[in-house]
Structure 1
Amino acid sequence: MPDYAHRLARVQERMAATGADLLFLPRSANLHYLTGIPREEPNFGNTMYPGEWLSGAWITPQGAPILTIPRMLAAFHLEIAGYDVRVLPDAGDPAALAAEVLAALGVPAAATVALDDRAWAETLLGIQALRPAARLVSAAPIMRPLRLIKDADELATMRQAGAITEAAFADVLPKLRHGMTTLDLISEVNYQLKRHGSAAPSFVTSFYNMGPTHPFDFHNRDETLLLPLDAPVAISFDFGAVYDGYCYDFGRSVFFGEPGAEYRRVHALIMASQAAGIAALRAGNSCAQADAAARTVIAEAGYGEAFRHRLGHGIGMDVHEPPFLTASDHTALRTGMCFTVEPSITLPGQLSCRVEDVVVVGESAGEPLTRGFQELYVVE
């Protein structure tokens, strides 16, 4: 169970250190991290409550924060230790409630107000209207360092998210058959994720197809969803579970039909590249060094131009978090950071292969949180 009081104390310490008079966090990964109030599975369109622009936590460097949330959400979270919970009015002026909150917290006229990077523009404009002399800054310098290093409880949660993801994949594999469609694959993966305990997919479940009659296709376009996957074709899975607020990101390639010698060689290279990247995820190295270690394996085999993207990204309560395993990111690696390691080789019109696991940075090497399915799976 996360120690939310300790997290709040650390946030308030960082606020004092950065000179922030007020921190506002909307319903988000940061609010989830700080209070345990979960995010909802995203909708395609917005669902809004009256005055939702001020829904979230209002925190000062000392004292109890104020939490302003809609009535339906408050019904489940009226008791948040250390917070003064106030319900958004179904009728009335939301700006009046915001003014009351700012006054109750003693926020000065020329305050430095830190806003979550994903706060709405409506929130910014509302605060500006109430405190026109305020200086508005990003909350990232306060929140990002606290979420960067995962503690033992967080790593245990992420391991469970990985276990759910691998269990779902294990139950998908026997369902693979020639002639099925990408829609069939999406439906099966999402069903198995939910069946094994995932709150939702951590991002849109995606497949990358490549074969002589299957031009490389990113994601799942409507026009290709119902095309039969006829051999020979390689299918790269990209999906992940959500468990107790933490995300997973996982990838494996399978082959429908008999893979040729080059595809088997490419698959072996991908696995070797990932192993090199995992070995380089040790404290003291940089993100760029880890990227280079994995990329060198592929480049020396003559496929350098076919590895088209960064090696990976940070991951935790968000499926993509900074820093990034890429040549331009020289952030020093620290024990407890978590990254995806996801090399790929893509030759349009010929073949595509990728692998992906979440890895925690260690003192001497990275530790993958998932280790299964290392051999190429062939659907005969």
Structure 2
Amino acid sequence: MIDHNRFQTLVELLNQKELDAVFLAPSSDLKYMTGLNFHPDSRLKGALVTREGKSFFLCPSLHRTDMKSIEDDIPILEWNDTDWFQGAFKKGLQLVGLSSSCRIAFSRGIEAGDMIDAVKGLNVECVNGFFLLAPMRSIKNKKELELMRKASSMNDKMMEALTTYIRPGIYERDIIKFIMNFHESHGGSPRVPCVASGINSGRAHYGRDNDRLIEKQDIVMVDSGGWYDGYSHDMTRTFFVGAPTDTQRKVYEIVLEAQLAAEEKVQIGAIPKDIDSTARDIITEHGYGEAFTHRLGHGIGMDGQESPYISQANETPLVEGNCFSIEPGIYLEGKFGVRIEDLVMLTESGREVINLFPKELTIL
């Protein structure tokens, strides 16, 4: 069923951006607006919404029975494998009054070739609509925030279980399997986690064959994310198998100081650039500025990464309903790395950190 409040807000956004329409292909944007959880494939499908509030759904015959939840709200234009989608798309534009020149934004979930074929021979200007819904989706309602809390609590439980599993003699890939099995067995849909041990942890987003064996006196960085009930969790912890070296302990304490200080800066009206600077300045003052190689954080919700981004480039004030990560790191390539990540949300009560698993230095 289409959420009519969201639909109306989208219409307002189209008018603000001076866009004639948006085509929402299979993506989290389409799910957000219609509840339909399609995935991109070889048959183009999606909803087109105009700035006048008119709409249609382009639907392959193969998926016609999946339209029952929205067919009372939006005209369904069906196409088959013989005729392909171009004729149905053109008919849809005529149906909503866009037969002349127009500007249409296209969301994620559509291949470039399909977009080109859809507008071929038409006087249509194609516009990047990847972030069109960001002002809506970055502000979570109370139900969404509760789903985010639930997802993060499950990640907390996974990390707790993981502390009894990590030990010398197992491989990085074994830890990956443990994490994914935990979330799947509890009803979640995990993404493949980042598990980086030893020198592999010196790369912010290590992801290779994961065949390194965990050894005594080792370091293991674990970044686990995924979904429960359609909403994301994301958390990073760095563990020590045996006592850390003096340098490892020092780096860990710097990252933890930066992470806690940045969290303290989070409040309604705060500027993401300033929050990023709070963590970055601490790391830089300790001489590791060049080893912090990414933005401080990213928004999270139906997607694992979405607006608002907590970066040097973002000067838009935070608002109630925002949810995002705070994840500083220091990465010493060829040696080791440390990252600590929590999710933070802004509610009517203020800042709320929704990961409760301890982040003080942990020796397993």
- Give the unaligned 5+ runs of structure 2: none
Cα deviation, 1:325-367, whole Å, max 9, x if unaligned, reads 2223322222222221001122234332111111124689632
Question: Which amino acid in 2 is paired with 1:78?
Answer: K
Question: 2:202 maps to what in 1?
Answer: 216
| Match for residue 253 of structure 1 among 226, 233, 238 | 238
1:348 aligns with 2:333: yes
- How many equivalent residue pairs? 362
Q: Does the CA-based 8 Å contact 1:178-1:229 persist in structure 2? A: yes
Change in CA separation of 1:363 and 1:300 when aligned onto 2, cut-off 3 Å: farther
After superposition, the C-alpha distances for 1:191-213 in whole angstroms (9 at most, x for unaligned) are 11111221332xx31122225xx
2:133 counterpart SS class = helix
Report what 1:124 is aligned to. 115
Greater Cα offset, 77-86 or 334-343:
77-86
Matches within 5 A, 1:58-207: 58-80=48-70, 82-131=73-122, 133-140=123-130, 142-201=132-191, 204-207=192-195
Q: Tell me the CA shift for residue 63 of structure 1.
A: 4.8
Who is 2:289 aligned against? Answer: 304
Deviates more, 1:137-146 or 1:189-198: 137-146
Rounded to whole Å, the distance in 1 between the matches of 2:128 and 2:100 is 18
Q: Aligned partners of 2:148, 2:60: CA distance in 1, in Å?
A: 30
Instruction: Give the Cα–Cα distance (whole angstroms) in 1 for the partners of residues 258 and 349 of structure 2.
Output: 18
CA 160–85 in structure 1, closer or farther in 2 if over 3 Å, else same: farther
SS in 1 for 2:120: helix
Deviation at 1:56, TM superposition (A): 0.5
Runs of 5+ unmatched residues, structure 1: 41-45
Name the structure 2 match of 1:233.
218
The one-letter code matched in structure 1 to 2:155 is: T
| Residue pair 1:270, 1:355 contacting (<8 A) in 2 also | yes
2:19 corresponding residue in structure 1: 20
The worse-fitting range, judged by mean Cα deviation, of 288-297 and 358-367 is 358-367
Amino acid of the residue matched to residue 143 of structure 2?
A: D
In 1, distance between residues paired with 2:15 and 2:313? 31
Task: Determine the C-alpha separation between the residues in 1 that align with 2:201 and 2:6.
Answer: 48
Change (3 A) 1:39 1:118: closer
**Structure 1 residues 277 and 365: alpha-carbon distance in aligned structure 2, compared to 1, 3 A threshold:** farther
User: What amino acid does structure 2 have at the position aligned with 1:319?
Assistant: G
Q: Name the SS of the counterpart of 2:198 in structure 1.
A: strand
After TM superposition, the score normalised by the length of structure 2 is 0.90
**Is the aligned partner of 1:378 residue 2:363?**
yes
346-355 or 18-27, which moves further after superposition? 346-355
Structure 1 counterpart SS, 2:14: helix
Task: Please say if residues 201 and 221 of structure 2, whose CA atoms lie closer than 8 Å, have aligned partners that are also in contact.
Answer: no
- Rounded Cα–Cα distance in structure 2 between residues aligned with 1:344 and 1:73: 45
Cα deviation, residue 308, structure 1 = 2.4
Q: Would you say the 8 A contact 2:25–2:110 is kept in 1?
A: yes
Considering only aligned residues, what root-mean-square deviation do their CA atoms show, in Å?
Answer: 2.5
Q: Distance in 2 between matches of 1:309 and 1:140?
A: 21
The CA distance in 2 between the partners of 1:236 and 1:111, in whole Å, is 49
Deviation of 1:64 (Å): 5.0
Once the two structures are superposed, what CA deviation does each residue of 1:287-339 show, in whole Å capped at 9, x if it has no partner?
A: 11001111223233333333222211122222122342222332222222222
1:366 is paired with a residue of what secondary structure?
Answer: strand
Can you list the C-alpha shifts for 1:110-151, whole angstroms capped at 9, x where unaligned?
A: 1221221553212321232142x2222233564221112222
* Percent pairwise identity: 27
C-alpha separation in 1, matches of 2:180 and 2:233: 14
Please name the residue that 1:43 is paired with: none
Contact 2:11–2:53, Cα closer than 8 Å, also in 1 = no
Does the Cα contact within 8 Å between 1:38 and 1:245 map onto a contact in 2? Answer: no
Matched with 2:272 is 287
Q: CA deviation at 1:96?
A: 1.7
Quote the Cα distance in structure 2 between the aligned partners of 1:19 and 1:308.
Answer: 37
Secondary structure of 1:191 counterpart = helix
Q: What is the match of residue 9 of structure 1?
A: 8
The answer (yes or no) to whether the contact 1:198–1:243 under 8 Å persists in 2 is yes
State whether structure 2 residue 39 is matched by structure 1 residue 35: no
Q: Which amino acid aligns with 1:197?
A: G
- Counterparts of 2:226 and 2:131, CA distance in 1: 28
Task: State the TM-score, normalized to the length of structure 1.
Answer: 0.87
